[in-house]
Structure formats: C-alpha cells, structure tokens
Structure 1
C-alpha cells in the first residue's frame, strides 16, 4: 500500500524517533508498505517519520545510483534502531533531495564514511562501515530519525534563497507524483 509522505513543516519530521521492539504492531507489513512507497515515489530511501511514525526505521535501496556510485550496487537495507557510532573526519559535498522537500536540491557536506549499528527486519544485529554515496544515503535517512533534514546542513544564505520554496511546501503548494500530507495549518500563515 502506498503511504502518504509527510512534507516539510510537519512536526513529526522534527521529533527524535524512538527505538522499537520486535513486537511492534504489523512491522513486516509496515516495512513492505514503506518499500512500496519509496519505489512508487522514486526515492532511494525512506524513514518512518516521513510517513508520520516517530520510530527508528529506515528502508534503503541505493542500487539505482550504482552507475555513478559503484558502492551503491546492491545496497538494499532495512535498518531498525539505527545509531551512528562513528563518522570519518574526511568530508565531501554532493547534491541531495528529499521526498519531504519536493523540488529542492542542495549541496550538502557530509562525512565520507560512517560506522552504524542497527538491527534488520528479523532483529538480527549488524555493525556496518559504509563509505561514499552509500554512507551519504544512510546519513540522509538517519537525519530523519534524529529530527533533522538535509537543509539543516546548508549555508544560511542558501536557506534564505530557498525560503519561498519552503513556504510553498508548508502551505501544501507543491506538485508530486505521490500522495503527501502537508503541515497542519497554524495561525499567522
């Protein structure tokens, strides 16, 4: 089932997500629905807060990026209760976009490598060292479970230049090929 993607401005995107236990209700179905939503929306990653759930759950499939980034070949993961344990000092800058921020793409500086601890959909533990674009994809989605967005990493001047686009997203004035949930109306908009 395609789930709606929550847009910039919705409070769930700014909450730090909670770890879950193996008895989380309908977890296998949720993971399948998140994957279906990610593929339908042409994403390469989706975090549970993007579908309105403040839990530490990520689905990832960076394989479509393998032509430009060979480290992404076959990179498909479900990460539950993920926690980044280490980041490299070396950093690089690449363009990023986000299903929760349609039509916005900005250069983001991130560490080139990370070590991450998580459990998979069967709650088997993993510790992985990732580098290159695969590490970037994980860091981008990981930000969502920590209540952050990729635009939090851009220069203030760049953020000022996209302010109008951000306001349109908050107001729900965006076109997407997927279902969305705009931020709840607030006074003074």
Structure 2
C-alpha cells in the first residue's frame, strides 16, 4: 500500500494546517484511504483551544455542504470525532414517516452505539463523501449512543427515528464504514433519479420498481 506524506504528520499539525485557511474545509470523497482506515480515539491529541477551533470548522463545513452530520475523517483527520445537527425542514408527512425531528448541534467524541430492539427502518440515505448518489439502508430504528462531548462530559442517550440514523451514519465513518457498505445496491439512485422519481416519504415505490426488499 502506498502511504501518503500526511500519514506521518502528527494529528495536531494536520489540523493546524487544515485550519490555516478561512472558510469550509475540503470534504474528501470515496476512494481516499482516510475514509477506510478507521480512526484513533481522541485522547488529548488536540489541546482545548485547537479542539474548539476544529469543532467550529466541522460545523461550518457541515452547514456549507449542506449536511446534517460530518465526521473528522471526511475532512482528512483520523480522529474519533463527529458533529451532527439537523433543523429538519421537512413536510409533516415526511417527518411522520421518517421520525425526522430537529436535533441541536452536538459534538460526539469517541462515540459508539448499540441497537435497542430488533425493529429496523429502511430509507434512502446519502453522504457528503459520496456525492451524487443515494441508496436505501436498513438500520436499527433505535440506538443507544455513548460518547463524550467536546468538554469531556459523558453522554449516554437513546436516539430513535432519523436522529438514530444520523448517529449511526456518522459513527460508522469513524470505523471506516461508508453507508454504501450497508445499502441495498439495487436501490442505488442518482441525484437526478431521486429528484424525478423517489421523492416519496418512504422507499416503498422504489423497492417495487427497482426490485429490492424492505424490512
């Protein structure tokens, strides 16, 4: 495997380099090794001031994309840190079908999740690191998240509906997993197809037309 010069750069120096320019950070796309190698637990590699600057840069980048979550590897940093935030500006029928409710800005440090129960929900999902495509992913409908926040305070919280999906998607990034690894690839649809065909609150019509199963 060919290594990148950045593989040997201390993570604090890498973050300082990324933050040396103003504006959103560059989001790396599928095919970049940093998205597949997993991450190292955060254990003070960034001092509090640098961590705060990095978190703010993740927030700015997430908003600019726009997206509802962003993990550190998506900007080239192999640390177990992610941010999420979802204003959920969706019609009522979508909110009810997907359980999509607003989520405040949160920082997830060293997160992990475990499914609660056996119910799974399947919806189209996309990723800022896989632009132009969406696919249906069946995920646990409810999960328990454990992590710390940016100040080191412990978090132990249950998420359901769309917030549970966001938590799983972003935590998966920290393990080197992309949503496509969990997707039914018969459902893979371009942004154009999504806009023209699959705007319904659930993927039921897509499943019937494209020939894939739903849980």
* TM-score for both structures, normalised by structure 1: 0.78
Q: Which residue of 2 aligns with 1:56?
A: 80
Q: Where does the alignment leave 5 or more consecutive residues of structure 1 unmatched?
A: 163-189
The structure with the larger Rg is 2
Higher relative contact order (CA 8 A, sep 6+): 1
Q: Does 1:137 align with 2:159?
A: no
Across the two proteins, how many residue pairs are aligned to each other? 161
Distance 1:73 1:60 in 2: 11
In the TM superposition, 1:142-161 aligns within 5 A as 142-158=171-187
Distance 2:90 2:63 in 1: 16
In the TM superposition, 1:150-189 aligns within 5 A as 150-158=179-187
**Preserved CA contact (<8 Å) 2:85 2:105:** yes
Structure 1 residue 147: deviation in Å?
0.4
Structure 1 residue 156: deviation in Å?
4.9
Q: Where does the alignment leave 5 or more consecutive residues of structure 2 unmatched?
A: 1-22, 191-215
Following TM superposition, the consecutive aligned residue runs of length 4 or more in structure 1 with deviations greater than 2 angstroms are 64-72, 85-88, 155-159
Distance 1:131 1:76 in 2: 17
Structure 1 residue 76: deviation in Å?
2.5
Secondary structure in 2 aligned to 1:123?
coil
Q: Which residue of 1 aligns with 2:119?
A: 90
Backbone CA RMSD of aligned residues: 2.0
**Preserved CA contact (<8 Å) 2:80 2:109:** yes
Q: Does 1:101 align with 2:123?
A: no
Structure 1 residue 24: deviation in Å?
1.7
* TM-score for both structures, normalised by structure 2: 0.69
